[in-house]
């Protein structure tokens, strides 16, 4: 077991099976030593959860749960892109998060902070939170 997998296990986190594309896109692209992971939704057991908008029908805790699920799905895709070995990832180049919220909602960083905590373990519409990233492989 690699260092990152051991850390995830220590934190009690289990990566889901990487989600398959549900539209005309690919979950990730590897070009040279870079990996581009497509936007990941808050899926649990392959089904979208945490539906709605922060400030309307979702609480900060709901948003944090959605962000956590996005992060776990992102790590699952990154693991697939790295041939099953998260330790091949040397650096996170960019992480983008989108939070679906009302115009007057001002606490967007709160759900994302929790998502970052999950990511640190390894170093509109109805969609609540979505993340995408760019990584460097060995």
- CATH 3.30.1330.40 fits domain 3-137: yes
Output the pLDDT for position 95: 82
Q: Could you report the per-residue pLDDT of 35-84, keeping only the tens digit for each?
A: 999 988 899 998 989 899 988 999 888 888 888 899 899 999 999 999 99
Distance, in Å, from the CA atom of 26 to the CA atom of 112, rounded to the nearest integer, reads: 24
Taking the model in full, what pTM does it have? 0.80
Distance, in Å, from the CA atom of 65 to the CA atom of 71, rounded to the nearest integer, reads: 10
Each domain of the chain, given as residue ranges in start order, spans 3-137
Token representation of residue 75: 């790590």
Output the pLDDT for position 136: 63
Distance, in Å, from the CA atom of 32 to the CA atom of 55, rounded to the nearest integer, reads: 41
**Higher pLDDT among residues 1 and 77, named by residue:** 77
Output the pLDDT for position 39: 86
Q: Could you report the per-residue pLDDT of 91-136, keeping only the tens digit for each?
A: 888 888 788 888 898 877 665 554 454 444 444 334 444 555 565 6
Which range, 14-18, 19-23, 51-55, 111-115, has the best average confidence (pLDDT)? 14-18
Contacts 24+ apart (CB under 8 A), 92-96: 92/119, 92/123, 92/133, 92/134, 92/135, 93/34, 93/133, 93/134, 93/135, 93/136, 94/133, 94/134, 95/119, 95/131, 95/132, 95/133, 96/131, 96/132, 96/133
**Higher pLDDT among residues 10 and 105, named by residue:** 10
């Amino acid at each position: 077991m690699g260092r990152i997998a051991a850390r995830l296990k220590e934190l009690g986190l289990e990566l889901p099976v990487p989600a398959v594309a549900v539209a005309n896109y690919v979950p990730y692209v590897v070009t040279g030593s870079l990996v581009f992971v497509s936007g990941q939704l808050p899926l649990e057991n392959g089904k979208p959860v945490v539906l709605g908008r922060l400030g309307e029908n979702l609480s900060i805790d709901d948003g944090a749960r959605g962000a956590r699920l996005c992060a776990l799905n992102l790590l699952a895709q990154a693991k697939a892109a790295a041939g099953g070995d998260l330790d091949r990832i040397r650096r996170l180049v960019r992480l983008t998060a989108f939070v679906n919220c009302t115009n007057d909602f001002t606490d967007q960083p709160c759900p994302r902070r929790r998502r970052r905590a999950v990511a640190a373990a390894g170093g509109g519409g109805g969609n609540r939170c979505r993340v995408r990233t760019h990584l460097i492989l060995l």
